[in-house]
Amino acid sequence: MLQENVTCSVSLKGEDTETNFDGVFTLKVKLTHRDMLRQDEIYRNCLGTSPGNAGTLAANIAEAISYLGVRVSKAPSWWTDSNGGMDLQDSNVLSSVYLKAYEAIENEYKRHRKTAEEAAPALKVAASAIDAAPPV
């Protein structure tokens, strides 16, 4: 079964501020429709009235902020104090947290798919046995 939450930890040094950023993030794996709409809303709010005209850097920042905005359920104080990364000065910290969170969630989906693939042969045997059973 797919886990509701996964964690990832970071231990980073800001390239601009030279501040150390350490901690553990708890991440929501599955999103509701409300979460998906909220992620899109955050993305569009980050980019302003003409999101289609945003530059690549702005779009990448908005993607990371919106993704983490709906996925992070627990975070270190430096993350919450920075308004979910919006007020960070170090781009490497935002991008690293985003990549680690994305990887942790993807790994959970991969684990879940592998479990399903491993169960498939036994399910086929069980289905064949049911099909072969005489009617009741």
Calpha distance 23→17 (Å, rounded): 17
Please state the separation of Cα 46 from the chain's center in Å. 18
Q: What is the pLDDT of residue 57?
A: 95
Quick: pLDDT tens for 85-107.
999 999 999 999 999 999 999 99
Domain spans in the chain, listed from the N-terminal domain onward: 5-132
pLDDT reading at 69 higher than 90: yes
Calpha distance 79→73 (Å, rounded): 11
Q: What is the pLDDT of residue 52?
A: 83
Task: Write down the mean pLDDT value for the chain.
Answer: 92
Element housing 46 (H / E): helix 33-47
Q: What is the pLDDT of residue 125?
A: 66
More confident residue, 115 or 73: 73
Calpha distance 77→91 (Å, rounded): 18
The structure's pTM equals 0.84
Quick: pLDDT tens for 1-43.
889 999 999 999 999 999 999 999 999 999 999 999 999 999 9
